[in-house]
Amino acid sequence: MSSPSLPPWTGGTGSVILKTNTTTTENLEPSGLTFVANSGHHWLYLASDDGEAACLSSQNGSS
């Protein structure tokens, strides 16, 4: 396969809501994301290919 020619990213500069080198997220390798509505709030759910799942606030990145 040759090197692809793709339109550049136009989504702006992102902000980090999760970095995995904390005690609670040491082993997380994000392999899937989804949003879940529960108790009047929306939560970002994350699956990891090491058999973990995480539940994150979309506002502050807490797990």
Q: Smallest distance, Å, CB 13 to another protein?
A: 8
Binding pattern for the stretch 11-40 against another protein, x by CB under 8 A and - elsewhere: xx-xxxxxxxx--xx-xxxxxxxxxxxxx-
Tell me which long-range contacts 53-59 makes (C-beta under 8 A, separation of at least 24): 54/18, 54/25, 54/28, 56/17, 56/18, 58/17
| Residue 23: φ, ψ to 5° | -60, -40
Q: Could you say whether residue 7 binds another protein (CB under 8 A)?
A: yes
Q: Give the interface with another protein as residue ranges (CB under 8 A).
A: 1-4, 6-12, 14-21, 24-25, 27-39, 41-56, 58, 61, 63
